[in-house]
Amino acid sequence: MRASFVFSEVITGLRRNVTMTIAMILTTAISLGLLGGGLLVVRLIDRMQTVYYDKTSVSVYMTNDISANDKDCSQQLCSSLWNALRSTSGVDTVTFENRDKSYERFKEMFAAQPEMLKVVRPEGLPASFRIKLTDPQRSDVIVQAFTGKAGVKAVDDGRQVLTKLFDLFGGVRNAAFVIALLQAFAALLLISNTIQVSAYTRRTEVGIMRLVGATRWYTQLPFLIEAVVAGLIGAVLSVGLLLGAKTFFLDKMLDAPIQAGIVPQLGKLDVLMVSPWLFLTAIVISVTTGYVTLRLYVRL
Amino acid sequence: MIRLEHVSKVYKTSTRPALDDVSVELDKGEFVFLIGPSGSGKSTFLRLLLREEVPSKGRVYVSNFDVAKMARRRVPRLRQSIGCVFQDFRLLSNKTVAENVAFALEVIGKPRNTIRKVVPEVLQLVGLDGKADRMPHELSGGEQQRVAIARAFVNRPLVLLADEPTGNLDPDTSQDIMLLLERINRTGTTVLMATHDHSIVDSMRRRVVELHLGKVIRDDARGVYGVGR
C-alpha cells in the first residue's frame, strides 16, 4: 500500500466536493458539540451531587410532646430514638436540636424577613435530630425506618429538593443527547451522501483502478479516509466550540453562582477530558457509515 | 491461456441468452479477432474474462484462474494479468501521459522506483517518447489510444483484451494501432480484439471467432471478416 498515493487521492477527493465536505464537517461538529455538552452536564451533575449531598442532612422531627417537655433529650423515648439513629448503619453523626435552638436558627435564617418572625412562635417549631450520612444517597433508609415511630412527627429527606433540581439537569442533559442524536443522524446521512458523490465524481478513476486489478482496499480506502478526516476535523471544531461556549458564555452567565459556590466551575480540563470521546465517536461514526455506504450503495 | 467451456450467460433483463453454449480456446501468444454484429455477445465474452460478469452456466479459465469460481478477493490478481483497451480510451483527463500510465501501477502498489523505470520504457514501446508530460487533450486520437495501450501493457499482462480499439480512429491511424498490437503480441502476450473493422480483419489474416446471437458460428484459423458483410 502506497501511503502517498492514498493520501493524494484523499486530498483530491476532499477538494473536489468542497461544499459537501464543509457541510459534513459542520454537521459533525455541531452534533459532537451537543454530545460533548451533554457529557459536560453529566460531569457537572456528578460534581454538584457530591458538593450538595455533603451539605444536606436528614431531619427527624419530634412530636409536640417531646419538643415541649424534653429540652436535652434525656427522657426515655427521645434518648432511645437517638440511640437507634446512632446505631443505624450508614449514619455518620446525629445532632439533637431542641425547640429553642430551632427557633434561634429560624431567626437567623429569616432575619431579613421580620414579618415571618412575627408569625412564627417557638411553640410552632419542633425539636429535631439532624443526621449526616456517610453515603448521602441512602437517606431513604432513615426515612423508612423512622417514619411513624413513637415520638416521631415527621422525617424530612433534605435530598428530595435536590433530587428535583438534579432531575431538571438530567432533563437538560437528555435534551442535549436527543438533539445530538438527531444531528448525528443528519451527519451520518451527509457522510454517506458525500461518499456517494465523491465516488461518482471519481468513477473513471475507480473504474480504471478496478480494471487494472487494484484491490478493494486501494479503491475504497481513500473514500473511508476522506470520511474520517472530515469527522476528525469536525471533532476538533466541536472541542473548540465547547471551549468557546465555556469561556465566552457559560463562565460569564454563571459567574455569580460560581463565585457563591452554588454551581461548581467547569474547567478547560473538563472539556479536554470529554474530547477523547468526541474523537472516538467521530471515528466510529465515519468509519461505519463509510464502510456501509461503500458496501451497499457504491459499486467499486 | 483462455478457455471457455459451454458458457452461457443470461442477463436478468433479457429472455435471450447473451452467450449460448460457447466453447472456445485461445493458446498463449495467439492473436484472435472476435467479430459479430452489435448484440452478438462480444462484450459479454470480454466481461466474463475480466470477471465483470459470471457465467450462468459453464466454466471460464484465464491462465490458471478458474474465473467463474474464484473468490472475490482474488479477482484483482486475475485483472492484474489482463490488460484492457477500449474504444473510448478511458484516460484520466487531469493526469499527464506518464501519470496515466503510472496510475495503473500505483494502484496495485508497485514501488516507486519500478514505476519510474518502466513507464518511460513502455512509452517508448508505443512510440510516445517525448510526450510523457502532455495532457490527454493535447494528443490526437491515435496517440491517446497509444497511451491507453501503454497503460494496459505496462504491467506486462498475459492477455490483452481490446474492445473496438480502432472504433474511433481513421483507417491510417487504425493501421498504426494494429501494428502496435502486433508488436505487443510478438512479446508473447495473447491478444483478443473485438472489432467491426472489416479491412483490419481482412488484411491481418489472423484467427477469427465470429459470434451471432450469442453462438460461435465460425472459428477460422486465418480468417477474413466475412462474405457479404
Question: Tell me, what's the ipTM?
Answer: 0.86
The segment(s) of chain A belonging to CATH 3.30.70.3040 are 57-157
Same domain flag for B107 and B32: no
Last residue of a domain, one of B129, B156, B183: B156
Which residues of chain B make contact with A6, given a CB cutoff of 8 A? none
CA distance B226 to B218: 10
* pLDDT beyond 70 at A299: no
Instruction: Based on the fold, state whether residues B132 and B101 are members of the same structural domain.
Output: yes
Residue-wise pLDDT tens digits, B50-97: 999 999 999 999 998 999 899 988 999 999 999 999 999 999 998 999
Higher local confidence (pLDDT), A114 or B121: B121
Shared domain check, B188 and B103: no
Amino acid identity of B8? S
Q: Which of residues 219-278 of A touch B (CB under 8 A)?
A: 219
Say whether A208 and B90 touch across the interface (CB within 8 A). yes
Greater confidence (A4 vs B144) lies with B144
- Residue B10 in any domain: the answer is yes
For position B8, what pLDDT does the model report?
Answer: 94
Last residue of a domain, one of B103, B129, B156: B156
Whether residue B87 is contained in a domain is answered as no
Domain assignment of residue B45, yes or no: yes
The owner of cell 458539540 is A33
Same domain, B170 and B225: yes
Number of domains in chain B: 2
Is residue B134 predicted with pLDDT exceeding 80? yes
> Smallest Cβ distance to B103: which of A1, A208, A210?
A208
**Amino acid, res. B116:** R
Between residues A227 and A55, the one the model is more confident about? A227
Q: Which domain holds residue B112?
A: 93-156
Query: Which triple of cell numbers denotes residue A171?
Result: 432533563
Q: Cβ neighbours of residue B156 under 8 Å, at least 6 residues apart?
A: B187, B189
Q: Distance between CA B85 and CA B89 in Å, rounded?
A: 7
Q: Do A212 and B155 touch (CB under 8 A)?
A: yes
Establish if B155 touches chain A: CB-CB under 8 angstroms: yes
Tell me the pLDDT tens digit for each residue of A239-285.
Answer: 999 999 888 888 888 787 777 777 777 888 888 888 999 999 999 98
The pLDDT of residue B123 is above 50: yes
Percent of chain A having pLDDT more than 90? 10
Residues of B in contact with A13 (CB under 8 A): none
Residue A178 has pLDDT above 80, yes or no: yes
Architecture (CATH level 2) of domain A57-157: 2-Layer Sandwich (3.30)
Sheet holding B159-163, edge to edge: B82-86, B159-163, B190-195, B31-35, B207-212, B215-220
Residue B100 sits in the same domain as residue B197? no
In this structure, are B75 and B175 located in the same domain? yes
Rounded Cα gap, residues A88 and B34, in angstroms: 96
pLDDT at A217: 82
Condensed to tens digits (0 to 9), the pLDDT of residues B186-209 reads 999 999 999 988 899 999 999 999
The verdict on B178 and B73 lying in the same domain is yes
Total beta-carbon pairs less than 8 A apart between chain A and chain B: 52
C-alpha to C-alpha distance for A140 and A121, rounded to whole angstroms: 31
B84, B104, B109 ranked by CB distance to A1: nearest? B109
Q: How far is CA A205 from the centre of its chain?
A: 47
Q: Do A211 and B84 touch (CB under 8 A)?
A: yes
CA-CA distance, A12 to A8, in Å (whole number)? 6
- Is it the case that residue B228 has pLDDT exceeding 50? no
- Which amino acid is located at A262 in the chain? I
Same domain for B144 and B171: no
For B34-72, b where at least 16 C-beta lie within 10 A, e where not — what string?
Answer: bbbeeebbbbbbbbbbbbebebeebebbbbebebbebee
* Structural domain contains residue B86: no
Cβ within 8 Å, pair B109-A207: no
The pLDDT assigned to A1 comes to 56
pLDDT tier at B229, thresholds 50, 70, 90 = very low
Report CB contact under 8 Å: A208, B73.
no
Q: For residues A278 and A284, what is the distance between their CA atoms, to the nearest angstrom?
A: 10
User: Taking CA atoms, what residue in A is nearest to B50?
Assistant: A211
Choice among A206-210, B59-63, B136-140 with the minimum mean pLDDT = A206-210
- Nearest-Cα distance to chain B for A215, in Å, is 6
Angle between helices B97-106 and A203-211 (to 10 degrees): 60
Find the mean pLDDT for residues A9-18.
Answer: 82
State whether B149 and B167 are in the same domain: no
Hey, what amino acid is at B169? L
**Average per-residue pLDDT in chain B?**
92
- Residue A240, pLDDT score: 94
Same-domain check for residues B181 and B141: no
Residues B172 and B147 placed together within one structural domain of the fold: no
> Is B88 inside a domain boundary?
no
Query: Is the CB of A212 less than 8 angstroms away from the CB of B78?
Result: no
Top residue of A4, A5, A211 to mutate, by most chain B CBs within 10 Å, is: A211
Read off the C-alpha cell for B141: 486520437
CA distances from A215 to A1, A143, A221 (A): 10, 68, 10
Residue A300 has pLDDT above 60, yes or no: no
- Do B164 and B133 sit in the same domain of this protein? no
